[in-house]
Amino acid sequence: MQKVVRIAGLAMAGVVGMGGCASIPPGPREMTFFVTSAGPGKGGDLGGLEGADRYCQSLATAAGGGTRIWRAYLSTQGATLPDTNFVNARDRIGMGPWQNAKGEVIARSVDDLHSPSSNLTKLTALDEKGQAVNGRTEKPNKHDILTGSRPDGTAFPGAQFPDMTCGNWTRSGSDGSAMTGHFDRAGPLNAPWAVSWNSSHPTLGCSMEKIRPTGGDGLFYCFAEK
pTM of the model: 0.87
Does residue 4 lie within any of the structural domains?
Answer: no
Does residue 212 lie within any of the structural domains?
Answer: yes
User: Which of 215, 211, 136 is CA-nearest to residue 174?
Assistant: 211
12, pLDDT greater than 50:
no
Full residue range of the structural domain in which residue 206 is found: 25-224
Number of compact structural domains in the chain = 1
**At CA 140, angle to CA 139 and CA 145, rounded to 5?**
125
Region 183-209: mean pLDDT is: 95
Region 153-171: mean pLDDT is: 90
Region 71-100: mean pLDDT is: 92
Q: What is the pLDDT of residue 85?
A: 86
Does residue 41 lie within any of the structural domains?
Answer: yes
Beta carbons of 31 and 104 less than 8 angstroms apart = no
- 138: domain CATH number is 3.10.100.10
pLDDT tens-digit readout, 102-143: 999 999 999 999 999 999 999 999 999 999 999 999 999 999
**Around Cβ 50, how many Cβ atoms within 10 Å?**
11
Does residue 122 lie within any of the structural domains?
Answer: yes
User: Which of 22-26, 61-65, 70-74 shows the lowest mean pLDDT across its residues?
Assistant: 22-26
